[in-house]
């Protein structure tokens, strides 16, 4: 198992849910973690679970200038990013004919545009150093479409296709890009979606974090390109 002690990890969406669990797991494995999300109070709660290895950096990933500032702050405070985890995401659902332009923009900007910005900004340093991990959190919705989730599914399909493509672009430099597609996960997001599923049967955020840990501790001669996760029992 490769060690990630003292590596610099930048996690978006780290204020709660899956992003928080991933940040905590990476810190447990020895990384120094930069926590990014819009809510400072939620980030500080995450940092409180981690301790001194965490840095709080409020960021709106929908805005290129804020993501650029984030990467600059991380580099100045901790060093160049070794591990990028894009976990920020939102869900807005409804029939296409009723879907509002503003909801479309917020969904695409958060779920996909922010990933594009972050990857584009961290890759030059990774290419120069010939090492790095990029892990994008998509969803089962990025593999299979469903009614009343067309735009949400499209955003997650985009994440899967984008990750597969950049993996081919950068593997020659020793950089590994991976995508994780979780099924129903017990987070605030699952409650907001109004799914009505049995929460006790859902995946836990820690399950996804465990998958991230498996990816970043792979030896350098291999990488896990995609993980699709489902609950053992249907919620």
Q: What is the pLDDT of residues 88-143, one digit of tens each?
A: 999 999 999 999 999 999 999 999 999 999 999 999 999 999 999 999 999 999 99
pLDDT band at 147 (very low <50, low <70, confident <90, very high): very high
User: Which of 57-66, 170-179, 187-196 has the weakest average pLDDT?
Assistant: 187-196
Percent of the chain with pLDDT over 90: 89
Looking at the domain assignment, is residue 234 inside a domain? no
Tell me the catalytic residues: 152
Looking at the domain assignment, is residue 1 inside a domain? no
Rounded to 5 degrees, φ, ψ at 178 are -130, 155
Looking at the domain assignment, is residue 167 inside a domain? yes
Check which CATH number belongs to the domain holding 96 and give it.
3.40.50.720
Report d(CA 193, CA 140) in Å as an integer: 15
What is the span of the domain harbouring residue 76? 8-229
Looking at the domain assignment, is residue 3 inside a domain? no
Looking at the domain assignment, is residue 154 inside a domain? yes
- Tell me which DSSP letter residue 204 carries: P
In sequence order, which ranges of 112-232 are alpha helices (DSSP H)?
114-129, 150-170, 188-192, 205-216
Which among 52, 59, 11, 16 is positioned nearest to 34, based on CA atoms?
11
Looking at the domain assignment, is residue 23 inside a domain? yes
Looking at the domain assignment, is residue 143 inside a domain? yes
Q: Total domain count for the chain? A: 1
Looking at the domain assignment, is residue 218 inside a domain? yes
Q: Cβ(33)–Cβ(26) under 8 Å?
A: yes
Q: What residues contact 233, with CB distance under 8 A and at least 6 apart?
A: 201
Strand order in the sheet with 32-36: 54-56, 32-36, 8-12, 83-86, 132-137, 175-182, 226-229
Q: What residues contact 189, with CB distance under 8 A and at least 6 apart?
A: 17, 89, 90, 91
């Amino acid at each position: 198992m490769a060690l990630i002690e003292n590596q610099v990890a930048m996690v978006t969406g780290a204020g709660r849910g899956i992003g928080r669990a991933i940040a905590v797991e990476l810190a447990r494995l020895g990384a120094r973690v930069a926590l990014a999300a819009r809510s400072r109070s939620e980030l500080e709660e995450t940092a409180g679970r981690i301790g001194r290895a965490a840095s709080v950096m409020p960021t709106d990933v929908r805005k290129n200038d804020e993501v650029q500032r984030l990467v600059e702050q991380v580099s100045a405070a901790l060093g160049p990013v070794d591990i990028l985890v894009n976990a920020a995401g939102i869900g807005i659902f409804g029939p296409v004919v009723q879907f509002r332009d503003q909801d479309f923009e917020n969904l695409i900007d958060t779920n996909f545009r922010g990933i594009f910005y972050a990857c584009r900004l961290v890759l030059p340093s990774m290419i120069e150093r010939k090492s790095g991990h990029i892990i994008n959190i998509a969803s089962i919705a990025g593999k299979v479409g469903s009614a009343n989730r067309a735009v949400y599914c499209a955003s997650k399909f985009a994440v899967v296709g984008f990750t597969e493509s950049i993996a081919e672009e950068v593997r020659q430099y020793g950089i590994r890009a991976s995508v994780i597609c979780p099924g129903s996960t017990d987070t605030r997001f699952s409650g907001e979606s109004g799914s009505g599923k049995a929460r006790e049967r859902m995946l836990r955020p820690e399950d996804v974090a465990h998958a991230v840990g498996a990816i970043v501790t792979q030896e350098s001669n291999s990488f896990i390109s995609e993980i699709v996760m489902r609950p053992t029992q249907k919620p």
